[in-house]
Structure 1
Amino acid sequence: MFKFGGNATRIATITFKRAMSTQEPEVLFETLNNAGVITLNRPRALNSLNLSMVTAMLPKLQEWENSKHMIIIKGAGEKAFCAGGDVKAAIDRVIGPKFFFAEYNVNYLIGKYKIPYIALIDGITMGGGMGVSVHGRYRVATERTVIAMPETKIGLFPDVGASYFLPRLQVNLGLYLGLTGDRLKGKDVVKAGIATHFVSSKRLYELETLLSRCKSDSEVSALLNKFNEPPEEFSLAPHIKHINYCFAASTVEEIIERLEKVQNDWSVKTLETLHQMSPGSLKITLRALQRGAQLDLAKCLKMEFRIACHSTEQNDFPEGVRALLIDKDNKPQWKPKTLAEVSDDYVESFFKKFPEDKELQFFDAKL
């Protein structure tokens, strides 16, 4: 093993310390007039969330709920608001559950936040990025916004409260987005009901400045409405009746049967997409969305925590991350390999409760 000599060791240590001291925090917390501003600050990693970021966000959000008029959250750089969670770390059986525990607590707090929470979802917004935006009161999309929940492609399932918000989208759109991972862009994000407003990216600085001066929710709402641009026709409009019909089916197999009956370009493409996904993830996702439709956000997150933790113990989540993000061979070896091999017992095993001390606990739980 190579060893540094005395001088070299000192130089390396000083260089490392300098690098550490000049490194900007991964999440920035600033006050702008009446607003607490959170900036997700990992632009090279498309602002993806890691354990230290969500751990820092929770106490700050709690503190600011009682001392600010509103929260504004945004991403550094021009490419992404937040491309998701750091799944390379989340597949670890120790780090994964800790990350999900902290992340889901942040999602839960945002969902019950008392003051206006405004997410500027400019750029790529996927997975964990949806979790720190969609549960808030206001979500502002721009022409650069691209949203998706692509988890079934990496052997996971749409989490961060997706089992709550996806089934509540109109015309089975949420089931379609959750199973296929399809992307929506720009004004489509408002049309789908995921964003509340659309503002051109070049006006975001002005919007943020003016928002920060607001003193009430009614002022925030009026200002956002003033900046909001009218929607255009939904790009999925020609397929809505088929989405509604196909994704109303109660099993993945029946969804596929219905898609095969439709027989048009959209249904062929959708079938191709579904056949690339982890068969186990598709069935787990459908069940989670079906159950989540009847549950509140807190219960959805508790359910998702069980599925996420069980996923770190199984083949498909680590294998999907390996194939798509680490080795990048794009050849995941799913187990089970086919939908027919995904038994009901296999699916149910992901929903199994843990002992009470291993379940998801919320920060405000009564002890």
Structure 2
Amino acid sequence: MSGHAARGSRDVSGAEAANDEIQFERRGALGLVTLDRPKALNALSLGMIGALHAQLDAWASDAGIIRVAIRGAGGRAFCAGGDIRHIHACGQAGRFDEVFAFWQAEYRLVARMQRYEKPIVALIEGVVMGGGVGISLHGAHRVASETYVFAMPEVGIGLFPDVGMTYALPRLPGRVGTYLALTGSRVGPGDALALGLATAYAPARDFAAILDRLAQGGPIAAALETGAARPPTGPLVAERGLINDAFAADDVADILRRLDGAAASGSTFAAETAAVMRTRCPTSLCIAREQMRRGLNLDFADAVLTEYRLVTRLMRGHDFFEGVRAVLIDKDGRPDWRPATLEAVDHAAVAAAFGPSEAPEPRFA
């Protein structure tokens, strides 16, 4: 959807605290959510998260609403993630209660959407990253437009792929999920469809007509059908064999060795992948590799609880705040990771970060 979100007739029942950052409309049988913070690429604020959760709860018990659609305003992004700048500012000021409140609210919302009683259709135009993936990927229908760009780039800011990615990424075909977790690489619409990140394709110009059909209450599959040609696949499909081999390795160092070997044999893709990984936070790489190992044996609620344990521990450390500074605030691209090398990462500490907290823990079921 290009341009500013249409206000239409707003139904704010259950979400009276909603503001101009997020809009809710009733359109026939459809509950429509518009993320309306285009200047911030529709990044999720705590207010948006709370309002969306409350509105979903209200629509869940509303017999007149049989499906929900979610879109982003502005045309550049569906949602570029959570409000990382705000989290960074709170942490730097020592306001950790606010930091943890954000993560807990975001993870509760993601878990709610994953088990939502009614079908959720995400209409994705532009960038979908981080928290934007969390509020779209776990729904039954993800419609990619021609400008769709998926990424989970958290290892580049001293974090890890969260919002349910501990569950979702290991379940992608082969070792593609591990590749995405450890590189943060971007995925276009063709590869997204081939891998199951997206379930349908439609040009963004057709999103308005799709919403009209969804509002009429007929079958969702028919509402999403536009007759548009499927976009071509890209490097993730072309390099599946190399990805499956290299990212099956037990640890990050061995993954890099396999990539270096393929690069020495002439693979530009392997060389570029290894180079990208060597710019990422070493501790984050080790955490993400362990996530991908554990995730297949976790249900969704336990996967999100695992992420909450990890994130609350990382918020007390150095790398996240340094990564956000280097990438988003100062933008110098020179993060001072601690430790700075894979060899210096404390693997016992990484394993311990996955364990239960001594404090009472939230439930995400």
Q: Which residue number corresponds to residue 137 of structure 2?
A: 134
- Which one-letter code corresponds to 2:79 in the other structure? C
**Could you tell me how far apart the structure 1 residues matched to 2:135 and 2:296 are?**
20
Secondary structure of 2:170's partner?
Answer: coil
- Which one-letter code corresponds to 2:70 in the other structure? I
Alignment of 1:1-367 (within 5 A): 25-67=20-62, 68-91=65-88, 92=91, 93-215=96-218, 219-225=219-225, 227=227, 229-263=229-263, 264-357=267-360, 359-362=361-364
Cα distance change, pair 226–112 in 1 and its aligned pair in 2 (3 A): same
- Which one-letter code corresponds to 1:248 in the other structure? A
Residue 356 of structure 1: how far off its partner (Å): 4.8
Cα distance change, pair 324–231 in 1 and its aligned pair in 2 (3 A): closer
Aligned length: 337
CA contact (8 A) 2:301 2:363 kept: no
Deviations 1:341-360 (A, max 9, x none): 00212212322322352x22
Residue 66 of structure 1: how far off its partner (Å): 2.0
- Which one-letter code corresponds to 2:56 in the other structure? L
**Could you tell me how far apart the structure 2 residues matched to 1:27 and 1:133 are?**
15
What is the TM-score with the length of structure 1 in the denominator?
A: 0.89
Question: Which deviates more from structure 2 when the two are superposed, residues 90-99 or residues 74-83?
Answer: 90-99
CA contact (8 A) 1:27 1:41 kept: yes
- Which one-letter code corresponds to 1:261 in the other structure? G
Q: Which runs of no fewer than 5 residues in structure 1 stay unpaired?
A: 1-22
Residue 227 of structure 1: how far off its partner (Å): 4.9
CA contact (8 A) 1:197 1:229 kept: no
Residue 55 of structure 1: how far off its partner (Å): 1.2
Could you say which structure has the higher helix fraction?
Answer: 1
Secondary structure of 2:340's partner?
Answer: coil
- Which one-letter code corresponds to 2:255 in the other structure? I
**Could you tell me how far apart the structure 1 residues matched to 2:129 and 2:55 are?**
23
What is the TM-score with the length of structure 2 in the denominator?
A: 0.89
Q: Which runs of no fewer than 5 residues in structure 2 stay unpaired?
A: 1-17
CA contact (8 A) 2:169 2:292 kept: yes
CA contact (8 A) 1:89 1:95 kept: no
**Could you tell me how far apart the structure 1 residues matched to 2:299 and 2:223 are?**
30
**Could you tell me how far apart the structure 2 residues matched to 1:118 and 1:276 are?**
35
**Could you tell me how far apart the structure 1 residues matched to 2:19 and 2:76 are?**
18
CA contact (8 A) 2:137 2:197 kept: yes
**Could you tell me how far apart the structure 2 residues matched to 1:188 and 1:223 are?**
23
Residue 231 of structure 1: how far off its partner (Å): 4.8
Q: CA RMSD in A?
A: 1.5
Cα distance change, pair 233–333 in 1 and its aligned pair in 2 (3 A): closer
Deviations 1:199-228 (A, max 9, x none): 01111111111111115xxx1123224556
CA contact (8 A) 2:206 2:226 kept: no
**Could you tell me how far apart the structure 1 residues matched to 2:284 and 2:233 are?**
32
**Could you tell me how far apart the structure 2 residues matched to 1:309 and 1:89 are?**
16
Secondary structure of 1:276's partner?
Answer: coil
CA contact (8 A) 1:197 1:228 kept: no
Question: Which deviates more from structure 2 when the two are superposed, residues 89-98 or residues 256-265?
Answer: 89-98
Q: Which residue number corresponds to residue 7 of structure 2?
A: none
Residue 88 of structure 1: how far off its partner (Å): 1.6
CA contact (8 A) 2:148 2:189 kept: yes
- Which one-letter code corresponds to 1:343 in the other structure? D
- Computing the radius of gyration from Cα coordinates, the structure with the larger value is 1
**Could you tell me how far apart the structure 1 residues matched to 2:143 and 2:228 are?**
9
Q: Which residue number corresponds to residue 11 of structure 2?
A: none
- Which one-letter code corresponds to 1:129 in the other structure? G
